[in-house]
Amino acid sequence: MSGKKILIARPQSNDLSASHEQQEQKSSRRSRPRRRGGASSSNPTRRRHKQQRFEQQQQQQQQQQPRTKFVVRRLPPMFTADEYATLTAEYITPETVEWSYYVPGKIHKSKSTPATSSRAYAKFKSLDALVLFSKALNGKAVKDNAGNESVIQIEFAPYDKIPKNAGRLDPRQGTIDNGMYLCALGIHLTARSSYLMLTK
């Protein structure tokens, strides 16, 4: 053999480290969990714009439909619902109001805790009736049976909507007498009583 030397090229350490870093980056990308909902769900700017559009829609609806729901605040704590009905009998009637609700107050046992005033809600059918009611009772001083006196304050309710009537009757109501098991029990008891009468 001739005396020629064979040189073997060895990879440099920098190339090995670079390839190793690339492999680690690829593996981290694969193991990273994907976010659900896309980037729009985590974008605060889009959420803010969506909230602004919703508020604008609410304002437009309130401008189109006049607010007719009110709240009567600062009623005496021991003022009963009957006394309130007597006070407002001239203005709150089935012809003028479509919904009403009364919340009684409370006097706490602890003297350091202030008393909770009574309040009332109602929704008038027309704005004119609400204005007439407000002019007649707003700022009027009333007393309860315990002698607590306060001045009535009438203002628009924070929300103009009223709760829906969720009452729903059960279609099986009143049909228990016609049930199969109850009829069978009645026949069994009748037969047993007649048998006992005969054996005596």
Instruction: Please indicate, yes or no, if residue 62 is contained in any of the structural domains.
Output: no
Contact 77, 118 (CB under 8 A): yes
pLDDT of residue 118: 92
Count up the domains in the chain and report the number. 1
- The pTM (predicted TM-score) of the whole model is 0.51
Of the spans 4-8, 29-33, 45-49, which averages the highest pLDDT? Answer: 45-49
- Summarised one tens digit per residue, pLDDT across range 115-160 is 889 999 999 888 888 888 989 889 999 988 888 888 999 998 888 8
Instruction: Please indicate, yes or no, if residue 135 is contained in any of the structural domains.
Output: yes
Instruction: Please indicate, yes or no, if residue 175 is contained in any of the structural domains.
Output: no
What's 100's domain CATH number?
3.30.70.330
Instruction: Please indicate, yes or no, if residue 5 is contained in any of the structural domains.
Output: no
Cα–Cα distances in angstroms (integers) from residue 115 to residues 47, 73, 97, 148, 152, in the given order: 42, 13, 29, 10, 16
Instruction: Please indicate, yes or no, if residue 84 is contained in any of the structural domains.
Output: yes
Instruction: Please indicate, yes or no, if residue 41 is contained in any of the structural domains.
Output: no
Domain that includes residue 75, residue range: 68-156
- Summarised one tens digit per residue, pLDDT across range 34-80 is 555 444 445 778 888 888 888 877 776 666 677 888 899 999 998 99
- Summarised one tens digit per residue, pLDDT across range 157-192 is 888 888 877 667 777 777 777 778 878 888 888 887
Quote the CA–CA distance of 132 and 121 in Å, as a whole number: 16
pLDDT of residue 25: 66
- What are φ and ψ of residue 100, in 5° steps? -150, 155
Instruction: Please indicate, yes or no, if residue 125 is contained in any of the structural domains.
Output: yes
Instruction: Please indicate, yes or no, if residue 149 is contained in any of the structural domains.
Output: yes
